[in-house]
Amino acid sequence: MLMARFFFFLKTGFTGLCLAFMIASCATTAPSAPVVTRPQEPGWVTGGPHERFSNTAYLTAVGSGSSRPAAELDAFRHLVSTFGVSVQADIRLAETYRRTGAIATHEIAIGQEIVLDAGMDNLVGAEIGDRWETRGRTSTSFALAVLNRDRAAQIYTEMIRANLEMIDNLTNMLPAERNSLNGFSRYQFAAVIADMNTNYAAVLSVVGAPPVHGLRSGDDFRLSAQEIATAIPIGINIRNDRAGRIQSAFAAAFSDLGFRTGGTNPRYLLYVDVVLLPTEHSGRNVFARMELTANLTDTSTGAVLLPYTFNIREGHIHLSEAENRTFIVAERRINDEYRDMLSNYLSQLIPR
């Protein structure tokens, strides 16, 4: 299978739906570097050389904090900043990459995972080489993050090549398969992998390793994904809509992801059934209840790809206004829920 050799998952933290690109790191903490409290501050704390980690063999960065974990996290962040790369990606596809991409194969070799709330996967192979703490009522911890240049060159060259093979397998499709929701998702995922290769190539440059040829930007694959989305318009067939509210809400969700709606004999069709149930009375108010069912269907096979349903109840002293309110609430609910639901579905189409 396409992803048979990629098994392990690195968890990550992101900040928002469209965030600074991913990037929980697989970094190890060296057991041979215990916390040491010395009366004399070592030179590396202020950016000087370290006796065991020369600049010719290692990249180093110093971090500080009110505790040992905070100092280590700060050191890794400073090490990340030396690569100067910041890429944004869909968080769901980024998480899929951690389960299946080249990074997953190195979690075993590298060891203990340190998850950064704003880090990069190009910390694979990094470790904490030394620590120091000040004395006093309020102490400060310092940590030295180190990355061996030769080891990094080997690891990241291997990961880039593995990712290039993945991209080739993802995008090598017949035209009929390419112009489908599955083809769209494959190119979206290829874009994420290409973004990771951009990060990895930055590491190779900084450590002085030869570049890997044949890299393409993630935007190249995103453009191809949008071309696919344009080629496969999605039809929307709604029963019992009012003032086009339900139609507009679903169309907006598809449009946000790059798809057109409408067209003649579309392969994908969203069947929406809106049912207003018998009214209920409570005091002066009259209540209208709506049940909505929407099934995204592949007309070539008849398979329901994504079912969606909900029911709501709204009241007013006039029945017509109660019914109108159900449509307003339904429109708002679709706007709030369906885009993310569709995006989740598309991210799950990535071949494992």
Q: Is there a domain that residue 10 lies in? A: no
What is the tens place of the pLDDT at every residue in 42-92?
Answer: 999 988 989 999 989 999 999 999 999 899 888 988 888 888 755 444 445
| DSSP-based three-state secondary structure for 171 | helix
Q: Is there a domain that residue 9 lies in? A: no
Q: Is there a domain that residue 115 lies in? A: yes
What is the tens place of the pLDDT at every residue in 127-155?
Answer: 899 999 987 778 899 999 999 999 989 98
Q: Considering 224, 259, 294, which residue would you say is the last residue of a domain?
A: 224
What is the tens place of the pLDDT at every residue in 264-283?
Answer: 889 999 999 999 987 777 77
Residues paired with residue 132 on neighbouring β-strands, in sequence order: 142
CB burial readout 114-142, b (16+ within 10 A) else e: bebebbbbbbbbbbbbbbbbeeeeeebbb
Residues 62 and 110 in one domain: yes
Residues 62 and 151 in one domain: yes
Token output for 232: 């496969």
Q: What's the domain count of the chain?
A: 2
Residues 217 and 238 in one domain: no
Query: In angstroms, rounded to a whole number, what is the distance separating the alpha carbons of residues 58 and 206?
Result: 11
Q: What per-residue confidence (pLDDT) applies to 86?
A: 53
Q: Considering 202, 224, 246, which residue would you say is the last residue of a domain?
A: 224
Q: Considering 224, 256, 279, which residue would you say is the last residue of a domain?
A: 224
Q: What is the mean pLDDT of residues 106-129?
A: 51
Phi-psi region at 301: left, alpha or beta (left = phi > 0; alpha = psi -120 to 50): alpha
Residues 219 and 72 in one domain: yes
Q: What is the CATH number of the domain that holds 266?
A: 3.30.160.150
Q: What is the mean pLDDT of residues 245-274?
A: 94
Please determine, for residue 203, whether its predicted confidence score (pLDDT) is greater than 50. Answer: yes
Q: Is there a domain that residue 8 lies in? A: no
CA nearest neighbour of 277 among 314, 248, 242 = 314
Residues 120 and 192 in one domain: yes
What is the tens place of the pLDDT at every residue in 20-40?
Answer: 333 333 444 444 555 555 568
Residues 201 and 286 in one domain: no
Q: What is the mean pLDDT of residues 168-180?
A: 91
Please determine, for residue 226, whether its predicted confidence score (pLDDT) is greater than 60. Answer: yes
The domain in which residue 162 lies consists of 18-224
pTM comes to 0.73
Tell me which of 281 and 4 has the higher pLDDT.
281
Q: Is there a domain that residue 141 lies in? A: yes
Residues 153 and 261 in one domain: no
Lowest-confidence region among 104-108, 244-248, 278-282, 306-310: 104-108
Q: What is the mean pLDDT of residues 316-332?
A: 91
Tell me which of 39 and 193 has the higher pLDDT.
193
Residues 72 and 210 in one domain: yes
